[in-house]
Each structure stands twice: as C-alpha cells, then as structure tokens.
Structure 1
Amino acid sequence: MVLTIKKGELVIFNIFSNIPLNLAGGEIAALSAACLWAIASVVYGILGKSIPPLQLNLIKGVIAISFLLITIVMTGDFSPSLAPVPLLLILLSGAVGIGLGDTIFFAALNQLGPRKVLLIETLSPPMSAIAASIFLDEFLTLGAWCGILLTILGIAWVVTERVSHSSDNSKTQTWKGISLGILAAAANSSGAILSRAAFSQINISPLWAGLLRLTAGFFIILVWVLISPQNSHVFVNILQLSKRVLCYCILAAFLGTYLTIWLQQTAIKLTNVGIAATLIQTSPIFIIPIAILMGEKVSLRAILGVIVAIVGISLLF
C-alpha cells in the first residue's frame, strides 16, 4: 500500500485491486496529530512532576527543532519558497500560537486546572472558523458547522466531568484563569489563521512551516527566560537532568511536538482551517482509550461524550 498526497487528498492505492480510495488528507493529518498529542500528553504529565513547564517547553523545542533539521537534511529539502510576507506570517504564527499561546495556556492551568482549561480551549475551532470566514474568505457548510458544534460539545462533555477530590478556586483565580484560557484559545486560533494565510501565498512544505513556527515559538520562550530574573536557574536545571528523564523528553518531543506540529501544518495546508482546528482539538477524546489501557475507570458520561464527538467528526468529512 502506497500513500501519496495529491491535490489536498490522501490517495490510497491498493496494490491488489489498483482502485484508489480517496480520503481527506488534511482531516486524517489533524486526527493523527490529536492522537499523538494525547499519547505524548501522558509522557509530558509524568515529566511535569519533575520539570517545570517553562523548562519543559524549552527542552521539547530544542529536541523537536533538531528532529526537523535532521529530516530536512535527509530529504534534501533545502530550498523552500520564502517570500518576505508569508515568512513573516509563519514566524508570527509560531510566536503567537506556540510561544505566547503555550505560555498563557500553562498559566491558565495553574489557575483553573486542566479540566476547565481544556473546556475553554474548545473555543479555538469556532474562533478559527469565524476568523477564516472574515479574513480568508473561507466558508463552512451548515453540515460542517453542525459537526464542529457536536465535536465541541462532545469534548466539553468529557473534560467537564467532575473530578473527585478537586478543590475549588477562589473567584479571583477563577476569573483570571478563564481570561487566560480564552486568551490561550485566541492565540491558538490566531496561529492557525496566520499559517493558513501564509500557505495561501506560497507553496512551502509542512516540514519547513513546522520548523519555522517552532523556532519562532522557541525564541519567544527563550527571550522570556533571559529577561526574567526568577528564571535564571532554568539552564542549570536542564543540565542536571538524568539520562532517563532526557529519554522521556525525547520521546514526548518526538511524538507530541515533532510529528504533531508536522501533521498540524499538513492539516492546515490541506483542509479548511476551521475543520483542521476542530479535529486537532480532539486530543481529549483519544485520552479515553489510553486511560482504559492504563487501568483507569472511565464513566458512561465519558464514553457518551466520545460518541457525540465522533458523530460530529463524521459530519466534517
């Protein structure tokens, strides 16, 4: 079986029947990115117990950029089409979506916790779709809008399930966390729109787009570390990490950053930005079977939420 990308579709040629089966390549790339991010999140969760978020961001950025550079050397893709304006758009998308977006997201996690922040993050797809319809002249059908709505509802139903032994935040923390969560969703959406705008002007490979976005995001985080006095110990702590922890970092960065960013850029390039953003947000759905495999109890509500989201996803194809 041979896989090729052609005119926005993933064409699967069956070597036995020679009958091509046309599947939406952008949607498949987005779902694959969501699945890999769910797997990597388990590893990042383990690493987060010993490595602060800012350090983890720097480490995964260096590792993922290294993987992308190695891939570029191996593929010989040394001549990307980089006009000034599209290049600026891609760099801005990385700075906003990866650098600022991830930073604000982690800040929101500290205020609200993952359950509520993930719920707020589901605002990103409709933000992307609305922005794309305004700035990129992209329009979604009624069925696609219904699919987006169902997918968001399914994800929200899963992540908003009450967690036992969880403590309530003060009103100040709650409103601050909500504000940060909305800003993180807006940053994620803005990054997707900027990437799409760049793709509409030049023909650049998702590999190079991912590298440029990661590099821009990495430098934003790096500047933040350098100008912040309380983060002066970050580099020393990174050098003191054990080999085992570094191996886990490499695994998480390979799955959750290197492959995921590449697939995300492929999805944004090959399909409507609103649909891509929605499917990329389905990581909480993929966590459910992972949790079952790890021996965790999954409620009926979580399973029903998965079904609702899958129905919504099916309406997007």
Structure 2
Amino acid sequence: MIFTQFTGEIAALFAALFWAIASVIYARVGTQISPLGLNLIKGGIAIALLLLTIALQSGGELPEFTPWVFGLLPLSGIIGIGIGDTAFFTTLNCLGPRRALLLETLAPPLTALIAFIFLGERLSLTAWGGIFLTVLGIAWVITERAAEMVGMPLRLTRGLIFGSIAALSQSTGAILSHLALTQSGISPLWSTLLRIVGGVAVLVLALPTQRLSPAALLKPLQSRRVLGIIILATFFGTYLGIWLQQTALKFTAAGIAQTLNSTSPLFVLPIAIAMGDRVSWRAILGALVAIVGVAMLFLG
C-alpha cells in the first residue's frame, strides 16, 4: 500500500541515493576525461541500456505521444543533461562530490522561482524562509577549506559558477519533463530515453568546439578500470537515476520530486565516511540546514 501511495516519493529518494553513489564514482575518473567527454560516453551507454530495457519490456513497440511531447522531452534533455550534467561534472572536478551535491540543492528553490515566473505559482513566507536556509546551508559547507579528496585542488570560484549553471539547468529540465509527463500518457522509461537522446545530441554538436577527436574521446576507455568505473556509475546515476527521477516527476508534484532528489548530500556523507574521508561537524550541520530549508520550501 505504501509503495502504491508514495510511488513518486520513494522513486525520488532512490534516485538521490543512486546519484550520490554515482557522483563519488565519477569523481575518481573526472581528472582522466573531460566533463563533456564523460557526459557523452555515459549518455551513449545509458541509451544502449534503455533500448535493451524497452526491447525486453515491450518488444520495442513505439508508444503513442503527441509531437509537442516529442519535442519537449528532448529539449528537457538538452538543458538538464547536455548542459546541466556537463556543468555538474566540471563542478565535481573543482569542489569534489560532497560540495558539488550540496550546491545542487539550489535546484529546488530555483525550480520554485521558475515556476513563480512562468507558471504564476506564489510562495508563502515559510517557503521563502526555506530558500534562505537552503542557500545558507550550502554556503556554509562549500566555503569550508578542508580538502575533500587527497590530491584534489579546491577551485571555489569556478566550482560555484558551474555548480549554479548545473542547478539552473536541472531545474528547467525538471519542469519541462514534469509538463510532458503529466500532460500525456508517455511512460517514465520512454521519457528517460528521449531526454538522454536530446542531451547526447547537443553534446555531439558541441564536440567541435572542444577540439575533441573521436580517438582522444575514447582513449581513456582503453583502460579496463576506467571503462568499468564509467559503466558502473552510468548504470546507477544515469540509467536508474534518471529513470527514477522521471518516475517521481510522473507520480508526484514537481516540487516534492525536486526536494527529495536533492537529498543526495545526506546519502553521500556516510559514503564519504565509509571511504575514509573526514567529514566535519560543520559539513554535517550544513547539510542538515540545507535539507531543512528545502523541506520548508515545499512544505510552505
């Protein structure tokens, strides 16, 4: 009964868990491959996994959906995956997984702001208090000078810029997906595929600007270790993570889905401790303040 009643909420929590796991894994190869290249490779792997799942689930039969849905979901992928994920991988390289995920908690208040401007949704004083607490908690943690990973330099300004771009892109992509999923009968599985196809398409178009040849792009994959890490992280973070995110956006309100998706920092902290990373009380309290702020935003 509880799984039927809270399908979207449970899906969002598992998406947050899988993104936390994937972010820690991606950080291990982030210095060996460019953010755009990593985003393109994991997108290609995810498309293959999704096509296999669709073939096994429905025999590859195409669903019925209107042209506007067919356009809206790839656009969501272009913004949320093509731009957002590339910016997020850059943030990982600059700040490390814990701070990068905490910066991503900007996405829920940004979603509320976009909804206010374009959908006319008004926020209560409690909600605006949640925005303040969220930003305060994020700022508290990311300005901490303690090194997060051995040998990883902290580039705060660059990380803040790309982290903000990632959060804005994720918010916009989530709203577009929510509109398509709730205004049509398309399944979360197909919406995931269309989103990722859109994201990969824009990355392919961006390749010439990065001066990345196919040989240079695929060179890191010659290492079985690097290839295995990318496949594992893609399975959790892109294939399962985005599929669960789309399920959440289908079965619950966009605000609730974004709020629960932003709980990745709560999952990444025990992962960091298990990996031997020192987590200060300041980081723990900052994460809690940010999550309380996010909860206030949508409870309001």
| Bin of the TM-score, shorter chain as denominator length | 0.7 to 0.9
Aligned position for 1:6: none
Aligned position for 2:181: 199
**8 Å Cα contact 2:95-2:154 kept in structure 1:** no
**8 Å Cα contact 1:151-1:309 kept in structure 2:** yes
2:275 counterpart of 1:302: no
Q: Map 1:171-186 to 2 at 5 A.
A: 174=157, 178-186=160-168
Please, which moves more after superposition, 218-227 or 288-297? 218-227
Rate the CA distance shift 1:210–1:148 in 2: closer, same or farther, 3 A.
Answer: farther
User: Separation in 2 of the partners of 1:294 and 1:117?
Assistant: 17
Aligned position for 2:263: 282
| SS of corresponding position for 1:197 | helix
Between structures 1 and 2, the one with greater helix share: 2
What RMSD in Å do the two structures reach over aligned CA positions? Answer: 3.1
Letter in 2 for 1:94: G
Q: Map 1:99-248 to 2 at 5 A.
A: 99-107=82-90, 113-114=95-96, 120-136=103-119, 150=133, 153-164=136-147, 174=157, 178-226=160-208, 228-231=210-213, 233-237=215-219, 241-248=222-229
| SS of corresponding position for 1:222 | helix
Aligned position for 1:79: 62
Aligned position for 1:95: 78
| TM-score normalised by the chain length of structure 1 | 0.78
Q: List alignment gaps of at least 5 residues for structure 1.
A: 4-9, 12-21
1:55-95 superposed Cα distances (whole Å, 9 cap, x missing partner): 21122111111111111111116232321111111110001
Rate the CA distance shift 1:196–1:144 in 2: closer, same or farther, 3 A.
Answer: same
User: Separation in 2 of the partners of 1:288 and 1:120?
Assistant: 14
1:268-300 superposed Cα distances (whole Å, 9 cap, x missing partner): 222222232232222222111011111222211
User: Separation in 2 of the partners of 1:198 and 1:128?
Assistant: 16
User: Separation in 1 of the partners of 2:35 and 2:210?
Assistant: 15
Aligned position for 1:46: 28
Quick one: which of 257, 274, 290 aligns to 2:238?
257
Aligned position for 1:17: none
Aligned position for 2:47: 65
Rate the CA distance shift 1:197–1:139 in 2: closer, same or farther, 3 A.
Answer: farther
Name the larger-Rg structure.
1
Query: C-alpha displacement at 1:236, in angstroms?
Result: 4.5
Query: C-alpha displacement at 1:133, in angstroms?
Result: 3.8
User: Separation in 1 of the partners of 2:89 and 2:229?
Assistant: 20
Letter in 2 for 1:93: S
- Sequence identity of aligned pairs in percent? 51
Between structures 1 and 2, the one with greater strand share: 1
User: Separation in 2 of the partners of 1:224 and 1:116?
Assistant: 27
Letter in 2 for 1:262: W
Rate the CA distance shift 1:211–1:287 in 2: closer, same or farther, 3 A.
Answer: same
**8 Å Cα contact 2:30-2:92 kept in structure 1:** no
User: Separation in 1 of the partners of 2:273 and 2:82?
Assistant: 33
**8 Å Cα contact 1:226-1:232 kept in structure 2:** no
User: Separation in 1 of the partners of 2:288 and 2:160?
Assistant: 27
Query: C-alpha displacement at 1:311, in angstroms?
Result: 4.5
Q: List alignment gaps of at least 5 residues for structure 2.
A: none
User: Separation in 1 of the partners of 2:15 and 2:139?
Assistant: 19
| TM-score normalised by the chain length of structure 2 | 0.82
User: Separation in 2 of the partners of 1:217 and 1:147?
Assistant: 31
